[in-house]
Amino acid sequence: MKNLYLSSAKFDENLTQYYGLNEAILMENAANAIENLVRKKLTKGSRLLVISGGGNNGADGLCVARKLAGDYEVSVMLVSDKLNDMAKFQLNILKKLGVDFIFSYKEEFKFDCFIDAIFGSGFHGELSNEIVEILDTLNSQKGLKIAVDIPTGIDKFGGVKSVAFVADYTVTMGALKLGLFGDLAKDFVGKIKVANLGVSKTKFQSEKSPFYLLEKSDLTLPNRTKQNTNKGDFGHLYIASGEMSGASIMAGLAANAFGTGLVSLVSSEYILNLPPFLMQKSSFKDAKCVVIGPGLGDAKFDLKELTNKKVVIDADLCYRSEILEILDENFVITPHPKEFVSLLKLANIADISVSDLQFNRFKYAQIWSEKFRSVLVLKGANTIIVQNEKLFVSNFGSPALSKGGSGDVLAGMIGALLAQNYSVLNASISSVIAHGLAAQKFRANLYGLNPLDIIEELKWL
């Protein structure tokens, strides 16, 4: 996994203070990364427009314009008349080079590439009407779009204002930023590249962070290397089955495909269409691992039976206040945004809308983690996993997963790994990664995936 940071400004200061790299050197290195990307993607003579603000981000953009001028037809548009010293320095050089400046962007100006250097990760507040109009116009144009550090309109927490620059590539400076991996940001950042500012990553990122980006190497698949085994060696998962038994059956199928030795569905009523390899039981007696919530509806279970067990809570239980009394470090709770809004209200943390949550997903996930010891898996385009105030982001999600039943499959997968003696955190991390990878491996059109396809792909990871 990789560290994520709210900002790399402190690391920039360290380079100057401890290694003697001044601001101009850092800016040259930042511009080099963007220059190299442009040269790789566009032939010489292509038309480029650099849109720059007045701060360091804008200065980076002006530096890029200087380095490409001559080989490319470069135009610059300044959106601020208040320039810091570095921006003034780069601007003076551009004027001497005879770079073209434009003062209002209109659709008749056609460019092959647009470089957004208006605001960086330090952006806060609201966008002016002028900037909104510029971004709307830029987003409507064809051509390669590159954002410097972070697309304008996205704040450091991943919140998106009324509009944001839609980038094909984001070249972020020195370190990966948390804001690039918010749900709302996912449609704007494009492919993310990190610019080396002059020293190795280990020297630059001199401090750890509580935020992490998950990688494929963080996935630990079920292990069956020993030959002398039986089904009991791979655990027994109990799944509560309620009004909509199809949800619990899908969770059971996922658990079976993800290595659990035995899977039982718990219900006081006979479950129709139960696959022959899934069993039925009437209670959680003898259970060590439980999944409860998928398709539960109004079905009644004694939640006190879940104490001293490893438990995955999902779906309908996220609307019941009694679960807050039993959450401990052995629980995983897996809400989607609407369910998490309910949990926040039940826990007296916040009474907010789903849109408010999506704008501040990282913030509310951390606040939840401060109050509860359980693992939180907040599902979304970039699912968040939080425990003990450490926050892990998975960007393996796919729009193909936006189907009823996908969450039931994930709950069954987490339960499967708990039954196989994974820790609650590792079970959550590995299941979220595998869930996303399974969807990515689906070969048909994204709109055609169903939960059974996810389960099938799990077998081939």
User: Binding site for AMP, residues?
Assistant: 379-383, 407
Between helices 245-257 and 406-419, what is the axis angle to 10°? Answer: 50
d(CA 441, CA 439): 5
The b-or-e profile of 96-110 (16+ CB within 10 A means b, else e) is eeebeeeeebeeeee
Q: Distance (Å, rounded) from C-alpha 351 to C-alpha 357?
A: 10
H/E segment holding residue 35: helix 23-41
How many alpha carbons fall within 13 Å on the CB side of residue 279? Answer: 12
Q: Quote the CA–CA distance of 402 and 450 in Å, as a whole number.
A: 9
- Residues in binding site: 56-60, 116, 120-126, 149, 152, 247, 295, 336, 379-383, 407-408
Rg over CA atoms, the chain: 25
SS3 breakdown of the chain: % helix, strand, coil, rounded to 5?
40, 20, 40
Q: In 3D, which of 149, 202, 198, 145 has the Cα closest to residue 28?
A: 198
CA pair distance 438, 432, nearest whole angstrom? 10
| Helix (H/G/I), strand (E/B), else coil: 101 | strand
- CB-neighbour burial class of residue 5 (10 A; exposed 0-12, middle 13-18, buried 19+): buried
Residue type present at position 448: G
At 347, list the tokens. 């826990």
| Alpha carbons 386 and 309: distance in angstroms, whole number | 20
> Which residue ranges are tagged as binding site for K(+)?
57, 116, 152
Structure tokens at 183: 């749900």
Residue 230, CA distances (Å) to 224, 261, 290 in order = 11, 8, 21
In this structure, what are the phi and psi dihedrals at residue 390, rounded to the nearest 5 degrees? Answer: -90, 135
The Cα–Cα gap between 455 and 53 comes to: 48
The 3-state DSSP class for residue 225 equals coil
H or E, element range at 191: strand 191-195
Q: What is the DSSP string of 340-367?
A: HHHHHHHTTS----HHHHHHTHHHHHHH
CB 72 within 8 Å of CB 42: yes
Annotated binding site for (6S)-NADPHX: 56-60, 120-126, 149, 247, 295, 336, 408
